[in-house]
Chains A and B, each alone.
Chain A
Amino acid sequence: MKKIECIVRPHLLDAVKSALQDVGVVGMTVSEVKGFGRQKGHTETYRGSEYKVEFLPKVKIEVAIPDGLAEQAVEAVLKTAKTGKFGDGKVFITSLEEVVRIRTGERGEAAL
């Protein structure tokens, strides 16, 4: 099993979600996050004074999937979340030791 964490542009969330569903992902966790990478922040003015926006809003999607789906899922994210400019985000893939479904107590891939 793998856990895939993608940081993407907020307005592309819907497209990424649909693409992941098409691949066969059946559930996900989404959170609104802030951060910076190569896009860095930008400077704005308010009433004539400057201020720097250093942390830009992004969306983090977390999915847990069977090993066999991992590559397809990453492909799906790359296809939908890419604009080609700084700030498109990243995908983190980690191995998942165990999953437990709280309702039934099922474990492993049966719990995904």
Chain B
Amino acid sequence: MSLEWKERKPMTKTRRLFVSFGIGIVLMLGVSVLRSLHAQAPAAEPAGAPPEAPAEAPAAAAAEPKGPDPTGAVTGTAADVPVKDAANPTLVEVMDTVGHNKIAINIVWTLITGFLVMFMQAGFAMVETGFTRAKNAAHTMSMNFMVYPIGMLGYWICGFALQMGGVGGIASLGGTAPLNSEFTVTLFGKAFDLFGTKGFFLGGDVYDVGVFTLFLFQMVFMDTTVTIPTGAMAERWKWSSFLVYAFFMSMFVYPIFANWVWGGGWLSDLGANFGLGHGHVDFAGSSVVHMVGGVAALAGALALGPRLGKYTRDGKSVAIPGHHLPMAIVGTFILAFGWFGFNPGSTLAGGDLRIAVVATNTMLASAGGAVAAMVMMMVKFGKPDPSMMANGMLAGLVAITAPCAFVTAPSAVLIGVISGILVVFSVFFIDQTLKVDDPVGAISVHGVNGAWGVLSLGLLADGKYGDGWNGVPGAVTGLFYGDARQFLAQCIGTLTCFVWVFVSFYVFFKILDVVLGNRVSAETELSGLDMPEMGALAYPEFAPAAGSGGPFPDSASTAPGAVRVGALGVETP
């Protein structure tokens, strides 16, 4: 056999790199396979032994180093329970470990669901930007982005303290003992708890794992609220006004109402003080989070007025289609996914297995909402309208947020279906009758269906869950299951939410309009807010010229008999 060396092209640098990588990986694989074969031979016998074997002799197990456990059946044994004398563990030592593990499960659960809720910010950003025009995309996206850091700091400064400073011990998080101070007034001989006063800047003696867990979880909920009005007020809101708003919402309006419902405040005491069921019950925030956001959106959209070109001179509503439906649909999916943190996480306890019911009810209602809205549009217009399908799913999710832990599966679907119908009528009513311009449907999705959510709890709570809720013995029961007073408490909560938030924000925006101005100039609005307000275009490559905006730059001028008539009496040719 003769070896002939052929002239070969020298390897390129990249190729040499790949080849040496390949050889390296094959070598490593070979070595590890050989080693695992070698290790398996003596381990074959113990693997066949029954899994309970190590439990028989904890002392011996502790002494011997544990081998690998590929099935997981023998990982986590008595040897893992810290005791002073391994031969004689005391009951207290064992109980300590059980208690620690119980709280650990709850805290890990609450943190992870909080992370899911945080991701909903991305969903909101995509839904709102998708439903608005390309010429404002950087502005709309930026609002949704900055609510997260701004809201977080505002909440850290005083929001959390006002909301949760007097909540007392939350047992599932190990007893958040330091949160023990609430400002209270006495009316009609009863104590009305108004706001908490502990935990400013999360400093001092609230340096506690339970409190920090609660802060993270409540913070992401609050941020959801702050981001809701940015949709209804999109495409015309001055950046500086938006910044002040974000602080005001996260520091005052949201925390105060949240205190009344979740922080031990007077709405939650309606049951204990006045015998109205369990007081105002809102499991995960149909009113606290969504209705607060939706009502603020209404006040804001009213204060700003409609976008230029939204209504013809004779008051006819003109469609201004969003520029990116696929983005909005993906955003809706992200929100639906995040809701698995929003609702099930609100048990604040992974050990409360009602989470199975909560999660299932949540997704059933979202299905009911999406299908109902789609059918409504197909019946009315012959086509399903993707933007309305997305609104329908979100409406179902918003509505089930309050009652998710308290209703049966058929009730959850019913709540979802009604919310899907409600959202369609509400969008038409707000757009065409009230003539309030809400580009993304935030008022209908969050405000109207938030109210429907808490009211539906008062109607359909089935009396199976919530024993001792708000300090009232017995399960939470709705009107149709025999407790009319619970429904009354829900009505009071809904009304209070509307009045508190609407009045606060209407006055706030009126004052801010004088001090700063809420709305951009007509020129800025027509050219798109991206460059004048943000200094950057979302899509520079696709903007043919300043002022031309998205694919529907001037739908107003193409509407039958349309003239551009905007708010503030501005009229442009």
Residue ranges of A at the interface with B (Cβ–Cβ < 8 Å): 41, 44-54
Residue pairs across A and B with Cβ atoms less than 8 A apart, 23 shown, are A45-B319, A45-B385, A46-B319, A46-B320, A46-B385, A47-B319, A48-B317, A48-B380, A48-B381, A48-B424, A48-B427, A49-B318, A49-B319, A50-B318, A51-B321, A51-B552, A51-B555, A51-B558, A52-B558, A52-B559, A52-B560, A53-B558, A54-B558
Q: Mark B395-432, 1 if CB is under 8 A from A, else 0.
A: 00000000000000000000000000000100110011
What residues of chain A lie closer than 8 Å to B381, measured between beta carbons? 45, 48
Q: How far is the CA of A111 from the CA of B351 in the complex (A)?
A: 82
Nearest CB on B from A99, distance (A):
29
Q: How far is the CA of A52 from the CA of B385 in the complex (A)?
A: 16
Nearest CB on B from A14, distance (A):
24
Count of CB-CB pairs between chains A and B under 8 Å: 48
The chain A residue sitting closest to B131, CB to CB, is A47
Q: How far is the CA of A52 from the CA of B558 in the complex (A)?
A: 6
Q: How far is the CA of A48 from the CA of B381 in the complex (A)?
A: 8
In the complex the two chains form, is B560's CB within 8 Å of A49's CB?
no
What residues of chain B lie closer than 8 Å to A49, measured between beta carbons? 317-319, 431-432
What residues of chain B lie closer than 8 Å to A50, measured between beta carbons? 318-319, 559-560
Within 8 A of A (CB), among B264-322: 317-321
What residues of chain B lie closer than 8 Å to A46, measured between beta carbons? 319-321, 385, 387
Residue of A45, A53, A54 with highest tally of chain B CB at under 10 A: A45
Q: Mark B369-380, 1 if CB is under 8 A from A, else 0.
A: 000000000001
- The reply on B253 being an interface residue by CB < 8 A is no
Residue of A41, A44, A48, A52 with highest tally of chain B CB at under 10 A: A48
- The reply on B166 being an interface residue by CB < 8 A is no
What would 5 more interface pairs be, CB under 8 Å, given A45-B383, A48-B424?
Answer: A47-B319, A50-B559, A50-B560, A51-B552, A51-B559
Partner of B441, one of A44, A45, A47, A53: A47
Nearest CB on A from B439, distance (A):
9
- The reply on B393 being an interface residue by CB < 8 A is no
What residues of chain B lie closer than 8 Å to A52, measured between beta carbons? 558-560
Q: How far is the CA of A41 from the CA of B557 in the complex (A)?
A: 14
Q: How far is the CA of A68 from the CA of B374 in the complex (A)?
A: 58
In the complex the two chains form, is B431's CB within 8 Å of A48's CB?
yes
Nearest CB on B from A49, distance (A):
4
Nearest CB on B from A64, distance (A):
27
Nearest CB on A from B316, distance (A):
8
Q: How far is the CA of A49 from the CA of B431 in the complex (A)?
A: 9
In the complex the two chains form, is B321's CB within 8 Å of A48's CB?
no
- The reply on B388 being an interface residue by CB < 8 A is yes
Q: How far is the CA of A51 from the CA of B319 in the complex (A)?
A: 5
Nearest CB on B from A46, distance (A):
4
Q: Mark B535-564, 1 if CB is under 8 A from A, else 0.
A: 000000000000000001001001110000
**What's the dominant secondary structure at chain A's contact region?**
strand
The chain B residue sitting closest to A45, CB to CB, is B381
Q: How far is the CA of A81 from the CA of B551 in the complex (A)?
A: 27
Nearest CB on B from A17, distance (A):
26
What residues of chain A lie closer than 8 Å to B558, measured between beta carbons? 41, 51-54
Q: How far is the CA of A49 from the CA of B439 in the complex (A)?
A: 12
What residues of chain B lie closer than 8 Å to A45, measured between beta carbons? 319, 381, 383, 385
The chain A residue sitting closest to B441, CB to CB, is A47
What residues of chain A lie closer than 8 Å to B380, measured between beta carbons? 48
In the complex the two chains form, is A51's CB within 8 Å of B318's CB?
yes
The chain A residue sitting closest to B438, CB to CB, is A47
In the complex the two chains form, is A47's CB within 8 Å of B318's CB?
no
The chain A residue sitting closest to B557, CB to CB, is A54
Q: How far is the CA of A27 from the CA of B193 in the complex (A)?
A: 81
Nearest CB on B from A52, distance (A):
5
What residues of chain A lie closer than 8 Å to B318, measured between beta carbons? 49-51
Nearest CB on B from A112, distance (A):
32
Q: How far is the CA of A49 from the CA of B385 in the complex (A)?
A: 11
The chain A residue sitting closest to B383, CB to CB, is A45
In the complex the two chains form, is B559's CB within 8 Å of A47's CB?
no
In the complex the two chains form, is A47's CB within 8 Å of B560's CB?
no
In the complex the two chains form, is B555's CB within 8 Å of A47's CB?
no
The chain A residue sitting closest to B381, CB to CB, is A45
Residue of A46, A47, A54 with highest tally of chain B CB at under 10 A: A47
The chain A residue sitting closest to B439, CB to CB, is A47
Nearest CB on A from B532, distance (A):
26
In the complex the two chains form, is B385's CB within 8 Å of A47's CB?
yes
What residues of chain B lie closer than 8 Å to A44, measured between beta carbons? 319
Nearest CB on A from B58, distance (A):
66
In the complex the two chains form, is B432's CB within 8 Å of A47's CB?
no
What residues of chain B lie closer than 8 Å to A48, measured between beta carbons? 317, 380-381, 424, 427-428, 431-432
Q: How far is the CA of A98 from the CA of B380 in the complex (A)?
A: 58
Q: How far is the CA of A47 from the CA of B389 in the complex (A)?
A: 10
What residues of chain A lie closer than 8 Å to B431, measured between beta carbons? 47-49
Among all A-B residue pairs, the 5 with the closest Cβ atoms? A46-B319, A51-B319, A49-B319, A49-B317, A46-B321
What residues of chain B lie closer than 8 Å to A53, measured between beta carbons? 558
Nearest CB on A from B386, distance (A):
10
Q: How far is the CA of A53 from the CA of B559 in the complex (A)?
A: 9
Nearest CB on A from B510, distance (A):
28
The chain A residue sitting closest to B382, CB to CB, is A45
What residues of chain B lie closer than 8 Å to A51, measured between beta carbons? 318-321, 552, 555, 558-559
Q: How far is the CA of A44 from the CA of B555 in the complex (A)?
A: 12
What residues of chain A lie closer than 8 Å to B559, measured between beta carbons? 50-52
Nearest CB on A from B149, distance (A):
31
Q: How far is the CA of A45 from the CA of B320 in the complex (A)?
A: 10
Residue of B318, B319, B431 with highest tally of chain A CB at under 10 A: B319
The chain B residue sitting closest to A46, CB to CB, is B319
What residues of chain A lie closer than 8 Å to B321, measured between beta carbons? 46, 51
What residues of chain A lie closer than 8 Å to B441, measured between beta carbons? 47
What residues of chain B lie closer than 8 Å to A47, measured between beta carbons? 319, 385, 387-388, 427, 431, 441
Q: How far is the CA of A48 from the CA of B316 in the complex (A)?
A: 12
